[in-house]
Structure 1
Amino acid sequence: MAQVLEFKLPDLGEGLTEAEIVRWLVSVGDVVAIDQPVVEVETAKAMVEVPCPYGGVVTARYGEEGTELPVGAPLLTVAVGGTGAPEERAEAAPGAAPTVGGSAAESAVSSEYSGNVLVGYGTAGPAARRRRVRHESPAVAKPLAAAQASPAPAPVAAPAPVAVAPVAVAAGGHRGPVSVISPLVRKLARDRGLDLRDIRGSGPEGLILRADVELAIAVLEGPVAAQETAIAPAPAAAPVSAAAPAAERVPLRGVRGAVADKLSRSRTEIPDATCWVDADATELMAARTAMNAAGGSKISLLALLARICVHALSRFPELNSTVDTTAREIVRLPAVHLGFAAQTPRGLVVPVVKDAGTRTAESLTAEFARLTESARQSALTPADLTGGTFTLNNYGVFGVDGSTPIINHPEAAMLGVGRIIPKPWVHQGELAIRQVVQLSLTFDHRVCDGGTAGGFLRYVADCVEQPAVLLRTL
């Protein structure tokens, strides 16, 4: 006998508690292999294709596209195993395509389980959750037959009868084997007193779907509903209103919801302060031009700013820390994992360059490019978006000069970089046109005072104005 196994939404890691169904990759009746992706979901971190640990026939899906499901909620059910007998396949996998001798179905339906796991998966097969069908006793009247046999009461101003699709009820009372898999369909029919043997399924090979049961219920309740509708007084005509259109409501979920939660938590928990300074970036731009003119891989401006940040954090380690509020301790972190803000079609994300302090400018350039492209393609993994210890935010790409960044909780600081534009500047005692940038630092006032934050920002500005001091670290 085939077993119907329930596959629940697994723990996708990093404390994620829910995911939104973006796209189903399989339909009811499809044959799936072990570890085959069956659904694409969006979490607060990334888009993920979820593989199914069972091989068999999909018998039910839970949740439409756009629905949010919590971790541990049923995702789909799969019929696995079985001897391949025709009547067994009709019950366990009525939607599967018929094959000669059933060999294809038998080879695809497997009782083995995946050895590859996501976070929270188990490789052992869960216990089967099949229910025995308890048929009603002959003494129980068949509701559909009674509805057809008994004369309907004379309606008051009865409307024209509504045609009902003929597939819902078997003509003459279909008494064949019940072709239904979903426990929800069985429960719905049982709760409304329907005998599934009297319903003809509209699914593949006669599979009884939820829509078939709901249609049968509508057939039973139709005359009563029609009478109630006819007797009820007509509602008064709604007055013509010149009010403005209703406001649009946009759900805070997915990436947008995660950003909202993190920023709200940052402003609630972190007593932040911001300081800023203008710096002459002319020499930094010239140094980058000279590096790229020398041949080899091109060096990005963001990579040079990252090297400056890492070097400054080695001198001011207070800003590469976090606060353990439970223990009331400042935790200074040994490595710099540098986050950088990236705008994508899905919203703002912060990919993280791991061990940024050990990377060269060329390595940083390549990693920034890889993570940025993955962000644009919605291909970042949860690991790419977590573990940051300090964030670099280059909002100058939006054409703005300055900002007061909100700290990326639970980090302790963020450096913001505005656009670099020509401005009048006093250089070597004379007024000149120089490439000027505004740098702003938002910091957690619990980890340090203004003197430390100002010292960090001033050192960053000095390196931007005189990049030669960093030549040995590039």
Structure 2
Amino acid sequence: MPDIGEGLTEAVIAGWSVKAGDAVKEDDPLCEIETDKAVVEITAPCTGTVISVRGEIGETLKVGTVITVFETEKLPVGAGRGGHGQAVEEAEPPLAQPAAPPAEIPASGGASPVAFDRAIRATPATRRLAREQGVDLATVAGTGPGGRVLQNDVMRFADGGQIGQATGATGSSGGRFTIAPIPREPGQTRQPLTGLRRVVADQMVRSVTLVPHASSSFRCEAGRFQTLRKLLQERLGTRISFTAMVMKAMVSAIQRYPTFNQSIDETTNEVVTPPFVNIGFATHTDDGLIVPVIKDCGARTLTEISGEIDRLAALARSRKIAPGDLRGGTITLSNVGSHGRAEAIGGRLIVNHPQAAIIGMTRIRPLPIVRDGQVVAAPCLDFHTSYDHRIIDGIYAGLFMEHLIDVIEEPGMMLAN
């Protein structure tokens, strides 16, 4: 299992392109692996014959685990022992190396160091959460596949093993909760929560557990916004999405109200202000929600942002997006009006932790408004926002959204810069 970077420690076998006995050339497709949010194609490291493949589809394997054995006339650079024309698996196995002692990671709040044991089955995100909560993963019982420790397991342990479904009697556990299984019944079907769905579920639990959410909703007129988009597309000769235009408006609002682009580092109790505005945009896939990130939106033109949205969205839906394109976001935009016919009129978005805010936009549609004392129909755009109430209060959120709406209602050519 190769290390594709971005802190990967394990991956799931998503599919095989070869079988034992197949002849392959160097860089031919070998298999696909699924990381936290992307499916990555792994290619053959050499020309030769496949002796065996190891790893069932859906199986989670650690980086460095042997997944394929080849017979080859020429070993790839950096290969282990195995002579000319000799199958690698026939080489003398290396001597076992003594396990390295666990690294000591300082816990937050002056607590005792937490042991970081790489032998424990847990994703990097779960390990980070454990450090933030001061939890020793070696003491947590994993409920995931193969005993993997999930983020829910960490939070349950941090809360004294009492978060989840209510137990029943009022006050029987001091207002706290314990996990109770759903009874098995005839005709019931069950499916493991794995892959992207599990990653999304863990992230949502983490966000609502750590972030005190506050939410607000706003409405603005969007007639001039629509007109500007039409003029820009005619002038630039390319498609410009409303999502890209709202991102440009968000950059302007963040420049005036930067707290919407900040984060809290729970391990140090510090407010972090990044040097760039990196806007993630929620993208629906058949497997769940993925959030690609447009890096440094403040330095990009509207045309560049729109093109990057289309490119990353296509890669995300095909699960071919690079892990680096899913990281580094400082705020998220969700176009909740881009799918289906139902109109969103409210609701609470969940902040994409460790970010401090998320903006949701609906589709533009005609709604009744009062203009000069008369009720008229006008194209309107609704915004919903949720934010971390530890650093953003309602008044500040209102000022941020007011500036954003000013840009939408009087966009001018500034959006093309």
CA gap of 1:437–1:335, structure 2 versus 1, over 3 A, is same
Q: Which residue of 2 aligns with 1:216?
A: none
Alpha-carbon separation, structure 2, partners of 1:290 and 1:33: 51
2:343 corresponds to 1:400? yes
Alpha-carbon separation, structure 2, partners of 1:272 and 1:16: 30
Alpha-carbon separation, structure 1, partners of 2:400 and 2:237: 32
Q: Which residue of 1 aligns with 2:23?
A: 31
Please give the per-residue CA displacement for 1:370-398, whole angstroms capped at 9, x wherever unaligned.
11222232221112211111111000123
Alpha-carbon separation, structure 2, partners of 1:125 and 1:358: 45
Tell me the SS of whatever aligns to 1:110.
coil
Q: Which residue of 2 aligns with 1:22?
A: 14
2:13 corresponds to 1:69? no
- 1:35 CA displacement: 4.0
2:271 corresponds to 1:330? yes
CA gap of 1:290–1:33, structure 2 versus 1, over 3 A, is closer
RMSD: 2.3
Please give the per-residue CA displacement for 1:46-77, whole angstroms capped at 9, x wherever unaligned.
11111343444322211222333233333122
Q: Which residue of 2 aligns with 1:205?
A: none
- 1:466 CA displacement: 2.0
2:377 corresponds to 1:413? no
Q: Which residue of 2 aligns with 1:354?
A: 295
- Does the 8 A contact of 2:245 with 2:415 survive in 1? no
- Does the 8 A contact of 2:254 with 2:261 survive in 1? yes
Tell me the SS of whatever aligns to 2:338.
helix
Q: Which residue of 1 aligns with 2:241?
A: 300
Q: Which residue of 1 aligns with 2:3?
A: 11
Greater Rg over alpha carbons, structure = 1
Alpha-carbon separation, structure 1, partners of 2:80 and 2:208: 45
- 1:334 CA displacement: 0.7
Alpha-carbon separation, structure 2, partners of 1:374 and 1:19: 19
Structure 2, gaps ≥5 residues long = 83-87, 93-183
Q: Work out the percentage of aligned pairs sharing the same amino acid.
A: 38
- 1:433 CA displacement: 0.6
Tell me the SS of whatever aligns to 1:19.
strand
- Does the 8 A contact of 1:319 with 1:413 survive in 2? yes
Question: Which residue, out of 381, 394, 403, partners 1:459?
Answer: 403
Structure 1, gaps ≥5 residues long = 1-8, 81-108, 115-122, 133-242
- 1:333 CA displacement: 0.6
2:70 corresponds to 1:110? no
Please give the per-residue CA displacement for 1:104-140, whole angstroms capped at 9, x wherever unaligned.
xxxxx213x24xxxxxxxx3535766478xxxxxxxx
- Does the 8 A contact of 2:248 with 2:415 survive in 1? no
Alpha-carbon separation, structure 2, partners of 1:294 and 1:131: 65
Tell me the SS of whatever aligns to 2:347.
coil
Aligned runs of 1:138-149 on 2, under 5 Å? none
- 1:315 CA displacement: 0.9
- 1:310 CA displacement: 1.0
Aligned residue-pair number: 318
Alpha-carbon separation, structure 1, partners of 2:65 and 2:34: 15
Q: Which residue of 1 aligns with 2:34?
A: 42
Q: Which residue of 2 aligns with 1:213?
A: none
- The aligned amino acid for 2:401 is L
2:368 corresponds to 1:424? yes
- Does the 8 A contact of 2:334 with 2:361 survive in 1? yes
Q: Which residue of 2 aligns with 1:219?
A: none
Aligned runs of 1:176-325 on 2, under 5 Å? 245-294=186-235, 296-325=237-266
Alpha-carbon separation, structure 2, partners of 1:350 and 1:380: 10
Please give the per-residue CA displacement for 1:251-276, whole angstroms capped at 9, x wherever unaligned.
22221111111111111111221111
CA gap of 1:126–1:350, structure 2 versus 1, over 3 A, is farther
Q: Which residue of 2 aligns with 1:471?
A: 414
Alpha-carbon separation, structure 1, partners of 2:59 and 2:312: 28
- 1:362 CA displacement: 1.3
